[in-house]
Amino acid sequence: MKLLFKQKLFSWFDSYDIFDETGNTVYTVKGQLAWGHCFRVYDKSGREVGMVKEKVLTFLPKYDIYLEGEYAGQIKKQFTFFRPKFTIDYKGWQVDGSFFEWDYTVLDIMGLPVARVSKELFNWTDTYSIDVEYEDNALAVLMLVLAIDAEKCSRENG
pLDDT tens for 100-113 read 667 889 999 999 99
- Cα 96 to Cα 107: distance, rounded to the nearest angstrom: 8
Which pTM does this prediction carry?
0.84
pLDDT in tens, 70-91: 999 998 877 777 666 778 899 9
Average pLDDT of span 128-155: 85
Give Dmax over CA atoms of the chain in angstroms: 42
Greater pLDDT, 16 or 49: 49
- Per-residue pLDDT tens digits for 58-69: 677 789 999 999
- The pLDDT of residue 12 is above 70: no
- Lowest-confidence pick of 43-47, 85-89, 93-97: 85-89
**Residue 106: beta bridge partners?**
95, 115
